[in-house]
Structure 1
């Protein structure tokens, strides 16, 4: 294993200088070092690095890792005029019809992605989500850079002493059981703010953050320098879940072996966990509320739907009953028809957007369209280079956008081409009918598990009707475009805790992990190859 290295990083004009501890030594390439600096300091602007050259006594562009060594000085040069700051406001394109409030924690949009959105969109500043359930649960999406919490005063004092010794003579510190327990407890409690079921890469990020913050805790016998801490965190989180389960935590309880349907034997057949980067999978009930009181709220909600211009009250009641609805979806797995009868308010575009925001803390329609527009030129460049039968099919699909200058048609062509590129069949999912074939459409809909239908006259760009079908039922209709229907279906998959359709699983994985940036650390090989081309 490489020896630990300490670097001095200068930002801007030199008034801001920080120390960077590399427990595992200097990365193998400049690109890896660039990524590490960007992640460690959460830099949002593009930048290049320079090193202090001993011959010229000045900073020169860094092109090789051989130019740097222990205690070298590097300088971050921003590629734009405006350097990033720790506190800033993120702007999102929001359509006037969107009822969802955009969370300030969502920092996925880049300035270019915002600029690429439709000119008809309006920009609003991001505002923290004010839902009482969200504030009660205290959860948020997994941070881009995990910040190690402060431990007890005694533990912090001892760690500071050992860090000083490490900087002086490079001596690593192996904490005793009591101090190690304090460290693991503090990390586990911080992780619980984001997820009850951390994935492998998340435990690894936390362990790496710990050894960066306290370099004396680096482990010499480990290839990464923190493998032991990573394993200990997994066991600690498992112990925390056991304790929460005994206290009756709903998300832990529904995953326990004791809590399963009768007749399923001893296997954990009804285990349900977040699978698509849900932040609020089974949230706690609001303070002072029970399942019985929230059921009364649901019944009252049905009456409110009959009133005109009552969107504010409906949204408030949907917020209040969010935990009740999530528990019903996960535990009871209701049929879509029955669930729609119980929660008709959910099956409106504005509420689909709001529900997706409640579940993931990220905006749905605005982010989807912005990111899709941002990548559209590059995607079309990739698609047009495809050869063979799939290439010919893609060319026929993309030819549709040349017949008119409509942003919705362009987006639809890109989505259909994406399906073909990933070796999936769009004709199975996208059903198009003439107005004279409505009876055929209705018959096909009853046998469709999941899909999108559109009714359009020959030679007409605008469809007369576009809708979403789930389990043979029209859950949404009279939508503006096929793209809007696709977005609504994506949101309903989260709201109803459905699996992605098997015949389009790669397409939906790309949209989830690349377009929506939800849990994109582990990718299927097809998606990984497309991502490499997309970002090359």
Structure 2
């Protein structure tokens, strides 16, 4: 059953918290205009003169090989700070932003004025990843060992690439400074020991989970273990606070805020859809009608009541069997609740014996795994 988070903290633990390494990427891909980096001083002067001349007579700037190299190198580093493997649309955004800020770099005869720049940035990103791979960067080393002249039997270069999913920002960070596989493994064992305590030192657990984040991501990305194996090796992920923290580490986003924001956005439309379906006949309609009837009988119908109704009714609408997922028990029962063979279940503890399809005022809700 999910652990109850009780915490204690000492002065020594507080001091340890200041020695936590931050993830490599602190920002997601910018939603608006791609931010231009500052180029070398000589290049900035050249671009300023070129932009002035372009405004006067529409003359494009001719760059030297070194100047173009500096622009592409700085752009590649900036792009990598957001994403190691940008897609075609994102590369186009970067090239468009470059020409928009420095119109003297427009390409004559090009429909967009920046298509050639996009291709140059694309190839430079490949070269930049190669440099990082040789330097030992785990984010790109994971995709090493592809086909080459010396290894013609290896995988094709574009097959089975391990890339971040859409929401992932910190996909495979390097180990923190001063840490190696052995030291991080020792901290992993310390986390297990700390989680098993009745009085857990939650800030200390958070500090060690932050430090061992790179090791955890290495295991997940390279080995793709089952969830059960991950939880056995990292039991702190059974704590609610660490579920939120891990989501923050990977995506740089607050999980509860995002979830409830999206839930609020769809609640009214879902409630309308439930009522429309409940007015018809059929097994699904009857189940929805029972849930809505209990919802309407509540003395106080606030945002929490609506959230509960929407979440309970959604699998019913989708005709999903969640009998093994949603479990109910009486809080007075001393026996361990029977959750069957379900790998994960939501256990709701209530104070009455009434069988209901939904409970709005439970005594306790736990995650059982």
TM normalised by structure 1 equals 0.54
User: What do residues 109-135 of structure 1 show as CA deviations (whole Å, max 9, x unaligned)?
Assistant: xxxxxxxxxxxxxxxxxxxx9883326
Shift of the 338–309 alpha-carbon distance from structure 1 to 2, 3 Å rule, reads closer
Tell me by how many angstroms 1:289 deviates.
Answer: 0.6
Tell me by how many angstroms 1:243 deviates.
Answer: 1.8
Contact 2:82 2:169 in 1 (8 A): yes
- 2:219 corresponds to 1:328: yes
Q: 410, 423, 432: which is aligned to 2:326?
A: 432
Contact 1:282 1:326 in 2 (8 A): yes
- 2:275 corresponds to 1:275: no
Partner of 2:191: 301
Shift of the 294–394 alpha-carbon distance from structure 1 to 2, 3 Å rule, reads same
Partner of 2:296: 402
CA distance in 2, matches of 1:216, 1:418: 55
CA distance in 2, matches of 1:464, 1:427: 25
CA distance in 2, matches of 1:401, 1:223: 58
Tell me by how many angstroms 1:331 deviates.
Answer: 1.6
1:443 match: secondary structure: coil
CA distance in 1, matches of 2:326, 2:214: 37
Shift of the 166–441 alpha-carbon distance from structure 1 to 2, 3 Å rule, reads farther
Q: 347, 360, 368: which is aligned to 1:461?
A: 360
Shift of the 417–169 alpha-carbon distance from structure 1 to 2, 3 Å rule, reads farther
Partner of 1:414: 310
1:132 match: secondary structure: coil
Shift of the 418–432 alpha-carbon distance from structure 1 to 2, 3 Å rule, reads closer
User: What do residues 448-499 of structure 1 show as CA deviations (whole Å, max 9, x unaligned)?
Assistant: xxx654457524434577555xxxxx44xxxxxxxxxxxxxxxxxxxxxxxx
Contact 1:398 1:414 in 2 (8 A): no
Shift of the 420–152 alpha-carbon distance from structure 1 to 2, 3 Å rule, reads farther
CA distance in 1, matches of 2:46, 2:306: 60
Partner of 1:182: 70
Higher helix proportion: 2
Tell me by how many angstroms 1:194 deviates.
Answer: 1.3
CA distance in 1, matches of 2:238, 2:292: 31
Of residues 385-394 and 218-227 in structure 1, the stretch that sits farther from structure 2 once superposed is: 385-394
Shift of the 156–280 alpha-carbon distance from structure 1 to 2, 3 Å rule, reads same
Partner of 1:206: 94
Contact 1:203 1:233 in 2 (8 A): yes
CA distance in 1, matches of 2:293, 2:207: 45
Computing the radius of gyration from Cα coordinates, the structure with the larger value is: 2
Partner of 2:206: 315
- 2:147 corresponds to 1:256: no
Q: Which runs of 5 or more residues in structure 1 are unaligned?
A: 1-96, 100-128, 469-473, 476-536
Partner of 2:339: 442
Of residues 347-356 and 372-381 in structure 1, the stretch that sits farther from structure 2 once superposed is: 372-381
Shift of the 388–222 alpha-carbon distance from structure 1 to 2, 3 Å rule, reads farther
Contact 1:400 1:409 in 2 (8 A): no
1:278 match: secondary structure: coil
User: What do residues 282-319 of structure 1 show as CA deviations (whole Å, max 9, x unaligned)?
Assistant: 11111111011111111122222244141111111111
Tell me by how many angstroms 1:326 deviates.
Answer: 1.1
Tell me by how many angstroms 1:441 deviates.
Answer: 5.8
Shift of the 180–429 alpha-carbon distance from structure 1 to 2, 3 Å rule, reads farther
Shift of the 403–346 alpha-carbon distance from structure 1 to 2, 3 Å rule, reads same
CA distance in 2, matches of 1:351, 1:188: 33
Higher strand proportion: 1
Contact 1:166 1:172 in 2 (8 A): yes
Q: 329, 341, 346: which is aligned to 2:232?
A: 341
1:222 match: secondary structure: coil
Tell me by how many angstroms 1:196 deviates.
Answer: 0.9
Tell me by how many angstroms 1:173 deviates.
Answer: 3.4
What is the Cα-based RMSD across aligned positions, in Å? 3.7
- 2:37 corresponds to 1:149: yes
Shift of the 427–210 alpha-carbon distance from structure 1 to 2, 3 Å rule, reads same
Q: Which has the higher contact order (CA 8 A, sep 6+)?
A: 2
2:113 match: secondary structure: coil
User: What do residues 28-58 of structure 1 show as CA deviations (whole Å, max 9, x unaligned)?
Assistant: xxxxxxxxxxxxxxxxxxxxxxxxxxxxxxx
Contact 1:429 1:452 in 2 (8 A): no
CA distance in 2, matches of 1:176, 1:393: 74
Contact 1:133 1:283 in 2 (8 A): no
Contact 1:383 1:394 in 2 (8 A): no
- 2:62 corresponds to 1:171: no
Q: Which runs of 5 or more residues in structure 2 are unaligned?
A: 8-16, 148-152
Tell me by how many angstroms 1:330 deviates.
Answer: 1.5
CA distance in 1, matches of 2:267, 2:123: 43
Tell me by how many angstroms 1:407 deviates.
Answer: 3.6
CA distance in 2, matches of 1:432, 1:265: 47
Tell me by how many angstroms 1:241 deviates.
Answer: 1.1
Question: How many residues are paired up?
Answer: 332
CA distance in 2, matches of 1:445, 1:296: 32
